[in-house]
Chain A
Amino acid sequence: MQVAVLPRSSIGKKALMAVTGAVWIGYLVLHMWGNLHIFQGQEAFNHYAEFLREVGEPVFSYAQVLWIIRIVIVFSLVAHMWSAWELYLQATRARSTSYAVKRVVQANYASRFMRIGGVVIILFVIFHLAQYTWGWVTEFDRADPYRNVVIGFSNPIIVLFYLLALASLGLHLFHGVWSMFQTLGLNSRRFDGFFRGLAVFAALVVPLGFATVPLAVLFGILK
Chain B
Amino acid sequence: MRLKLRIWRQKNAQSEGKFVDYKLDGVSEDSSFLEMLDLLNEQLIDRNEEPVHFDHDCREGICGMCGLVINGIAHGPKAAVTTCQLHMRVFKDGDSITVEPWRAKAFPVIKDLIVDRSAFDRIVQAGGYISVNTGQAPDANVIPVPKEQADRAMDAAACIGCGACVAACPNGSAMLFTSAKLAHLNSLPQGQAERFDRAVLMVNQMDAEGFGGCTNIGECEAVCPKEISLDFIAMMNRDLLRANLMGKGKR
Contacts and interface: CB of A to CB of B under 8 A. Distances in A.
B144 to A, nearest CB: 23
Contacts of A188: 231, 234-235
A185 B171 contact: no
A114 interface: yes
Contacts, number: 159
A9 B223 contact: no
A111 B215 contact: yes
A106 B222 contact: yes
A1 B104 CA distance: 26
B214 A112 contact: no
Nearest to A8: B207
A9 B69 CA distance: 28
Contact of A3 (B211, B241, B250): B250
B240 A90 contact: no
Interface in A65-117: 87, 90-91, 93-108, 111-112, 114
The B interface is mostly helix, strand or loop, or mixed, namely mixed
A22 to B, nearest CB: 14
A147 interface: no
B241 A185 contact: yes
B24 interface: no
Interface in B184-221: 200-201, 203-204, 207, 210-219, 221
19 contacts: A1-B201, A6-B241, A8-B207, A9-B204, A9-B240, A87-B215, A94-B106, A95-B172, A100-B100, A104-B219, A105-B73, A106-B221, A107-B217, A107-B218, A111-B217, A183-B214, A185-B235, A185-B240, A187-B231
Interface of A: 1-6, 8-15, 87, 90-91, 93-108, 111-112, 114, 175, 178-179, 181-189, 192
